[in-house]
Structure 1
Amino acid sequence: MSAAVSATSIVSASATARRRTRSAGLRAVGSGLMTFVLTLAAVLVLWAGSLWIFRVNPYVGKGPLDVWNYLFTVPAAEANRAAVFGQLWVSLGHAAVGFVAGLVVAVLVAALFQLSAGVEHALMPLAMLLRSVPLIAMAPVIILIFARDFATIAVLGGIVVLFPALVTIAFGLKSAPAHMSDLVSVYGGSSWTVLRKVALPSALPSLLAAVRISVPGAITGALLAEWLAVGGGIGGAFGGYIAAAQFSALWSSVAVITVAALILYNLVHILEAVLLARMGMSDRV
C-alpha cells in the first residue's frame, strides 16, 4: 500500500513539475513576444520621431517606410535583400565567434577568482582598468598584434562580451550558500569540489543572465571588428555605403541588425526561463 502511495506521489510530483515547466515556458514566450513588440514599436516611434523633430534631410535620413520600400517594394528589392541579409549572416557569424570567446574566458576567469581570492584581488582591478579604456583606443594595438584576421574578431568581440559577463558570473559564484560550501569542506572536499558541486550549480541563474546580456554585446563587438579591422558583414559595409551615399542601404542594414539582436535576445530569455523552471529556480530569475 505504501509503495503504491509513493509511486502515485512520484507521478503526481512529476506531472506538477511538467505543468510548471510548460507554464513557465508559455509565460516566457508571452513575455518575450510582448517585450519584442513593445521594444520594436518604441524603436520605430523614436526613429521616425527623431527624423521629424530634428528635420533631417530626407536624402540622408531614411525612415521605417523608406527601409521597407528598399527591402520589399522597389524593383531592385530582391537584390537589396540578398545583399543586406548576406551581410547580416556574416556579422552574426562574427558575433558568434566573439560571443563564445568572451563567454568562455569569463567563465574560466570567474572560476579562477572563486578558487583563489589572491588572484581575484590582483586581476579584478586590472580588468576594471581595461574595461574603462575605449575599445576604439585599443583597436590599433589589437590589430597590430593579431593582424586583420579571424583572431582579431575573437579578441575585439570577446572584449565586449567579457567584462559584463565576468562580473555577473563572479557574483553568481559568490552567492552560493555558505553552509553548503562549509559542509563540503568539512567532509574533505577541496576548493575545486566546492566550485564544481556548490558554486557552479548555484550560479546557474547568473550564468544564464550573462549569456543573455552577452548576445547584444557580441553583435556590437562584431560590428566594431568589421568596421575597424577585418571588413565584411554589415559593419564593414558602413563605410562603403556612406562614401557612395547609399543611405537607404545604410539605414536598412542598421534596421536589420537591430531586429536580429532583439530576436536573439528574446529567444535566449525564453530558453533561460524554461531551463530555470526545469531546474526549480524560476523564483531566482
Structure 2
Amino acid sequence: MVSRTPRAATLRRSTHPAQPLPRRDRGTTAGALVVALASWEVLVRVSNTPVYLLPAPSLVFHTLAQHLPTYLQAALITFGEAWLGLLLGAGVALCTAILVTLWPRVEQGVMSLAILVKSTPLVVIAPLLTIWLGFGWQPKVIITALVTFFPILVNALVGLQTITPSLHDLFRVWRASRWEALWHLRLPHSLPHLFAGLKVSAPLALIGAIVAEWTGASGGLGRTMWLAYTNLNLPFLFAAIFVVTAAGIALYQIISHVERRMAYWRPIP
C-alpha cells in the first residue's frame, strides 16, 4: 500500500480545494447595507413621507414578519419557476453552442434566430403563452428560459471556440475526433465562461418569472407584487421586493458554489 506523503496531500488540496476560497471582507457590505437602510429610515421620518409613496424599512420588515408564510409560499413558487427556466435555457443554449462549434456553417443562421428571440419584448410573448398554455407554471418557465438563453449562449460560444492553439494542435497530433476534443478540451475550457453566463442570467431568471406571473398566475411573488400595486399597499410591495432580492442572492450563491466544485482549478473570490 502506497502511503500519501504530506507533499502529495498538500498538492491535492491546492489543486482541488474542498472548501470555498476565503471571501472578501463581508463587513463592508453589511455595513453599507445598514447605512443605506438607516438613511432611508431617517429620510422617511424627517420628511414625513406618506406610506403610500415610500414606506420606512421598519414598516416593511414588520409587514414581512407579519405575513412571512405568505411570502415564503410565493417565493417557493417563483424560485422554482426561475430555477427550472434557468436550467432549460442553459441546456438549450449549451446544446446550441455545441452545434455551432462543431458545424460552423450554421452559426450565422442560428445566431440570427437567437438575436430575434432576444429582441422580442417579453410583454408581447408572455400574454400569448398565457393564452396558449394557461395560468400554470409552463408559460413562466418558458419565458424564463427565453430570457436566460441568449447570455448563456454567447458565453458558451466564447468558451467553446476560444481554445489555446497549442492545446488544439496537441489534440490534432493525438488524432482526437471532434467529439473527443469537445469532451476533453472544449467543454472543460468553457466552464468559466459558462458559469459567467449563468451568473448574469440568474437575476434575469427571477425577472422573467415575475413578469410572466404579472400576465396571469394563481401564486408567486409576481402576483403578490401585482396585488399590492393595484391596492397601493406599498409596505406589502416593498416586502415582496426584499424577498425577490434575497431569492436572487440565493440563486447566485448556488451557482457560485457549483462553479467552485466543477471549475476547481480556477480561483474564485
- 2:220 matched to which residue of 1? 233
Pairing 1:200–2:187 present: yes
- 1:136 matched to which residue of 2? 123
- 1:17 matched to which residue of 2? 12
- 2:109 matched to which residue of 1? 122
Structure 1 contact 36–263 (Cα < 8 Å) conserved: no
Structure 1 contact 152–229 (Cα < 8 Å) conserved: no
- Write the mapping of 1:83-102 to structure 2, written as runs, cut at 5 A: 83-102=70-89
SS in 2 for 1:230: coil
Change (3 A) 1:125 1:237: same
Structure 1 contact 212–265 (Cα < 8 Å) conserved: yes
Pairing 1:268–2:234 present: no
- 1:281 matched to which residue of 2? 266
Change (3 A) 1:236 1:50: farther
Percent identical among aligned pairs is 25
- 1:111 matched to which residue of 2? 98
1:177 to 142, 150, 164: 164
The one-letter amino acid of 2:13's match is R
- More displaced 10-residue stretch of structure 1: 46-55 or 208-217: 46-55
Residues 202-226 of structure 1: CA distance to partner in whole angstroms, max 9, x if unpaired? 1111122223222212111111121
Change (3 A) 1:84 1:32: farther
1:66 to 55, 59, 69: 59
- More displaced 10-residue stretch of structure 1: 127-136 or 166-175: 127-136
Q: Give the distance between the partners of 2:34 and 2:42, measured in 1 at CA.
A: 12
Higher share in helix: 1
Structure 2 contact 130–216 (Cα < 8 Å) conserved: yes
The one-letter amino acid of 1:105's match is V
Change (3 A) 1:256 1:40: farther
Structure 1 contact 149–230 (Cα < 8 Å) conserved: yes
Name the TM-score, length of structure 2 as normaliser: 0.84
Q: Give the distance between the partners of 1:50 and 1:106, measured in 2 at CA.
A: 45
Structure 2 contact 52–232 (Cα < 8 Å) conserved: no
Q: Give the distance between the partners of 1:274 and 1:33, measured in 2 at CA.
A: 22
The offset of 1:186, in angstroms, is: 4.2
Q: Which runs of 5+ in 1 are unaligned?
A: none
Structure 1 contact 84–249 (Cα < 8 Å) conserved: no
Q: Which runs of 5+ in 2 are unaligned?
A: none
Structure 1 contact 153–222 (Cα < 8 Å) conserved: yes
- 1:212 matched to which residue of 2? 199
Structure 2 contact 75–243 (Cα < 8 Å) conserved: yes
The one-letter amino acid of 1:272's match is E
Change (3 A) 1:151 1:50: farther
Query: How many residues are aligned here?
Result: 269
